[in-house]
Chains A and B, each alone.
Chain A
Amino acid sequence: MTQRIIGPFSRVEGNLELRLQIKEDRVAEARVSSQMYRGFEQMLEGKKPIDALVITPRICGICSVSQSVAAARALADLTGAKPPPNGVLAANLVHACENLADLFTHFYLFFMPDFANPAYRNEAWYGRVAERFRAVSGSAAGDALSARAELLHLMGLLAGKWPHTLAIQPGGSTRSIDASERLRLLTVLRRFRAFLEKTTFGTSLESIVELSQQDQWHQLSEPETSDCGRFFALSRNLKLDQLGRGGNAFMSFGGHAFEGESLFAAGLYTDRWQPLEADAIAEDVSHSWMQASPPRHPREGATKPTGMDDNGYSWCKAPRLNGRVIEVGALARQSVNGNPLALDLLRSGGANVQSRILMRLWEMARLLLAMENWAELLVPGEPFFEAGLASPQDGEGVGMVEAARGSLGHWMRVRNGLIDRYQIIAPTTWNFSPRDADGQPGALEQALSNAPVRKQDDENPVAVQHIVRSFDPCMACTVH
């Protein structure tokens, strides 16, 4: 048995360190550690409730809008705010734009460059793949950056800027747009659709969202003409559907609702859909660098860091649902949503590197189609914002949303007009949690167990890198 400490871990957001016990050519045991702590929950105490809109997005520059939406929802829960239809649509567009940009950035800039890893240099496909996907200098990176920047023009229009907008508020959006701006919005979406259809998928978005079986998708996306096809070829060659097997409990807070209809359902999926029992969430700190405490629901939770002591190995807490380890993210979201393609993937190989990536790609198509629809529904001249909300004096508010990486929750308590308690559980907190008091490893820790370690890359096994990045971790959110 040998031990490897892996870090710094590039192309993930934030400071991640892995401790692997390796037995022969397999990972026997993994410990996942978040190596940064800032203390946002403490910073928020004593502030005015509305200031959460300024502070919480700055937890994370990669999913700052998701944090913003969660804070706005918590405030709306407190004040009873009801944004007008345009406000809901604008917030949906801004939020979906960030989710889409996240999924896209992850695929092109964070995940695919692993196939240019020199560990693969003897593979027949290496030259072509490295030329396309090498980090920074690969042809895909250049293409993707231009397309991404243009997609984010939507943020310039509807949110002022990205990241860290203040446009999304409990009463709706501060940015109303006129008829000509709405047309510009549609142009931005049209242009990004063209990139996705030509370069990413090699087929129409409509044909992607209608897929119900992975085999149909293989036939649609040719390996030579689309990046999705190139991924399929690599995945088949490297058996990514057998890598990074997760548990089988998936959660989604759902969302992107408009007029009573949610694009994505909330719930829990194990072998079937079940309603979400949000009261059964509790954060365990037994293996965190936090003051000892029994597991607590975030409504009652506290964040009290200690120094780095021997009891813990991460600044991350360990959230559990009814004591259960949960995986969140696009695959989880679509399983909960009853998506036939997600369920087909789960039946054939469960949660693994391939199924996680495929559902991210699928969601890109779904989100863009939804965004086109929302943009069509905007009515220039009608209000985007509900007026005259009182500042809350006392009470509790909850904001539960889906960020690209999975379920994000904000729990806020206000006393005498000031924030008295603010607890946040981010998606990667679920996926990258340390062990709990029962010794149950977190979702990534489970997925890493049994990962192959090839002799030539034993210092930093490439299979481990694929598995970690298949979750698209955001450590800045995780520990906040």
Chain B
Amino acid sequence: MANFNMLWLQSSGCGGCTMSLLCAESPPLFEQLSWQGINLLWHPALSEASGQEVQSLLSDLEQGRESLDLLCIEGAVAQGPDGTGDFSRLPGTGRSMMSWLQGLSTRANYVVAVGSCAAYGGVSAGGDNPSDATGAQYAGERLGGLLGEAFRSRGGLPVINISGCPIHPQWVLESLASLVRGEMTLQDLDELGRPRSYTDHLVHHGCPRNEYYEYKASAQQHSQQGCLMEHLGCIGTQAHADCNIRLWNGGGSCLRGGYACINCTAPEFENPGYGFLSTPKVAGIPIGLPTDMPKAWFVALSSLSKAAMPARLRENALSDHQLMAPKIYYKNKRR
């Protein structure tokens, strides 16, 4: 298990996935890596080595003079301008990240795309995608990307897409542990190449606003406690991630922070086709409904549950703090 060689490269991204990874706790990041037997060959933000020394390491890895168990890619692959990849170069080498990533991927036992940019293009491919950014093995929802649909690393797996903007530190660390132990198989990845350990859940699961959702007690504006789905753009019922089960930064999540889930683990979340923070509707009904529920049922149930909404939820949904506490029911009604 010892000496599992890991190289981490940052391509076209914001570095936020590394920053989030540094928030790993109990134990902290470097301790977790060391316990897992991971030998960090180089990470641009964290390693001592710079310049020539790194260039030699990269050529040794690319030429096969040193073994590469795991290549982690953070950030999208910029292919522009005009297919040159010059929008993102590996400094000092005169070569594009695109070209380095192609070369190193063929040498790696496993390739992990860390974050939605590396997985699918992410925000780096937003708008009209000025840098022609793509993911390592996907371009948005389409397979392909830099490495092509058929790519399998030497260990036999496609690129493992730990998507998210940013990633939760434990999504990455658990996936790495699974790879080091040789336990990760194709069955552990979902249709979009993401580890099912966190994408077999919906953001909706464990949402502290679930009681409001049940009765369609909706917030009218951000900061209110009601459900954010009906008016404020929340798509937590369609977003695959365990954000409300495995919490962030000691107990947070987007919904706990009072703002909508924008489904940042999904390909093309960066271009929703409407404003992020409002819910597009047709005839008053949100167009994005829970994926595995028939629309007619949803509409019927919503009107029923709205009618049954307790006063407590109606009051609290439109306030930024609790106005009515849940009522206490005594076992012995005649006290």
Residues of A at under 8 Å CB distance from B? 5-17, 33, 35-40, 42-48, 50-51, 53-55, 58-62, 64, 105, 109-110, 113-114, 116-117, 134-137, 141-142, 145-146, 148-150, 152-167, 169, 171-176, 178, 188, 305-308, 315, 380-381, 383-385, 387-388, 459-460, 465, 476
Tell me, rounded to whole Å, the shortest Cβ–Cβ distance linking A81 to chain B.
12
Is B3's CB within 8 Å of the partner chain A? Answer: no
Is B88's CB within 8 Å of the partner chain A? Answer: yes
Structural contact, B93 and A381, CB atoms closer than 8 A: no
A16 to B131 CA separation, bound complex (whole angstroms): 18
Is B157's CB within 8 Å of the partner chain A? Answer: no
Structural contact, A160 and B28, CB atoms closer than 8 A: no
Residue ID in chain B nearest A5 by CB atoms: B92
Contact partner of A36 (CB less than 8 A), chosen from B87, B129, B248, is B87
Structural contact, B252 and A159, CB atoms closer than 8 A: yes
12 A-B pairs whose Cβ atoms sit less than 8 Å apart in the complex: A7-B51, A7-B92, A42-B128, A55-B126, A60-B15, A60-B16, A61-B18, A136-B30, A149-B22, A156-B250, A175-B223, A307-B82
Chain B residues with CB under 8 Å of A110's CB are 45
Residue ID in chain A nearest B221 by CB atoms: A387
Once A142-B28, A459-B52 are accepted as A-B contacts, the answer to whether A173 and B223 lie under 8 Å apart by CB is: yes
Tell me, rounded to whole Å, the shortest Cβ–Cβ distance linking B277 to chain A.
6
Structural contact, B50 and A47, CB atoms closer than 8 A: no
A13 to B43 CA separation, bound complex (whole angstroms): 11
A464 to B299 CA separation, bound complex (whole angstroms): 65
Structural contact, B276 and A149, CB atoms closer than 8 A: no
Once A38-B131, A156-B252 are accepted as A-B contacts, the answer to whether A7 and B90 lie under 8 Å apart by CB is: yes
Contact partner of B130 (CB less than 8 A), chosen from A39, A146, A167, is A39
Structural contact, B127 and A160, CB atoms closer than 8 A: no
Is B123's CB within 8 Å of the partner chain A? Answer: yes
Structural contact, A388 and B91, CB atoms closer than 8 A: no
Structural contact, B51 and A8, CB atoms closer than 8 A: yes
Tell me, rounded to whole Å, the shortest Cβ–Cβ distance linking A334 to chain B.
25
Structural contact, B249 and A155, CB atoms closer than 8 A: yes
Chain B residues with CB under 8 Å of A165's CB are 254, 257, 259
Structural contact, A178 and B321, CB atoms closer than 8 A: yes
Structural contact, B86 and A14, CB atoms closer than 8 A: no
Structural contact, B46 and A8, CB atoms closer than 8 A: no
Contact partner of B91 (CB less than 8 A), chosen from A15, A113, A164, is A15
Contact partner of B86 (CB less than 8 A), chosen from A58, A171, A307, is A307
Once A48-B275, A160-B256, A174-B258 are accepted as A-B contacts, the answer to whether A43 and B16 lie under 8 Å apart by CB is: no
Tell me, rounded to whole Å, the shortest Cβ–Cβ distance linking A470 to chain B.
15
Is B260's CB within 8 Å of the partner chain A? Answer: yes
A221 to B247 CA separation, bound complex (whole angstroms): 38
Is B59's CB within 8 Å of the partner chain A? Answer: no
A158 to B259 CA separation, bound complex (whole angstroms): 11
Contact partner of A10 (CB less than 8 A), chosen from B45, B87, B165, is B45
Tell me, rounded to whole Å, the shortest Cβ–Cβ distance linking B171 to chain A.
13
Chain A residues with CB under 8 Å of B10's CB are 14-15
A137 to B258 CA separation, bound complex (whole angstroms): 38
Is B19's CB within 8 Å of the partner chain A? Answer: yes
Once A15-B91, A136-B47, A149-B24 are accepted as A-B contacts, the answer to whether A164 and B321 lie under 8 Å apart by CB is: no
A188 to B250 CA separation, bound complex (whole angstroms): 10
Chain A residues with CB under 8 Å of B258's CB are 160, 167, 173-176
| B window 30-53: CB within 8 A of A | 30-31, 40, 42-53
Chain A residues with CB under 8 Å of B92's CB are 5-9, 17
Structural contact, B30 and A145, CB atoms closer than 8 A: yes
Structural contact, B276 and A159, CB atoms closer than 8 A: no
Tell me, rounded to whole Å, the shortest Cβ–Cβ distance linking B15 to chain A.
5
Structural contact, B321 and A162, CB atoms closer than 8 A: no
Residue ID in chain B nearest A37 by CB atoms: B87
Structural contact, A43 and B127, CB atoms closer than 8 A: yes
Contact partner of A35 (CB less than 8 A), chosen from B24, B89, B223, is B89
Structural contact, B123 and A161, CB atoms closer than 8 A: no
A142 to B28 CA separation, bound complex (whole angstroms): 7
Q: Beta-carbon contacts of B168-207 to A below 8 Å, as 1s and 0s?
A: 0000000000000000000000000000000000000000
Once A16-B91, A146-B25 are accepted as A-B contacts, the answer to whether A53 and B30 lie under 8 Å apart by CB is: no
Tell me, rounded to whole Å, the shortest Cβ–Cβ distance linking A353 to chain B.
17
Chain A residues with CB under 8 Å of B129's CB are 43
A109 to B165 CA separation, bound complex (whole angstroms): 23
Contact partner of A135 (CB less than 8 A), chosen from B18, B20, B46, B252, is B46
Chain B residues with CB under 8 Å of A141's CB are 30
Tell me, rounded to whole Å, the shortest Cβ–Cβ distance linking B335 to chain A.
28
A37 to B75 CA separation, bound complex (whole angstroms): 12
Structural contact, B222 and A36, CB atoms closer than 8 A: no
Residue ID in chain A nearest B257 by CB atoms: A160
Structural contact, A174 and B257, CB atoms closer than 8 A: yes
Of all A-B residue pairs in the complex, the 7 with the closest CB atoms, nearest first, are A160-B257, A61-B16, A7-B92, A7-B91, A39-B130, A156-B252, A43-B127
Structural contact, A60 and B78, CB atoms closer than 8 A: no
Structural contact, B127 and A146, CB atoms closer than 8 A: no
Residue ID in chain B nearest A94 by CB atoms: B257
Q: Beta-carbon contacts of B250-286 to A below 8 Å, as 1s and 0s?
A: 1111111111101010000010000111000000000
| B window 221-238: CB within 8 A of A | 221-223
Structural contact, B22 and A145, CB atoms closer than 8 A: yes
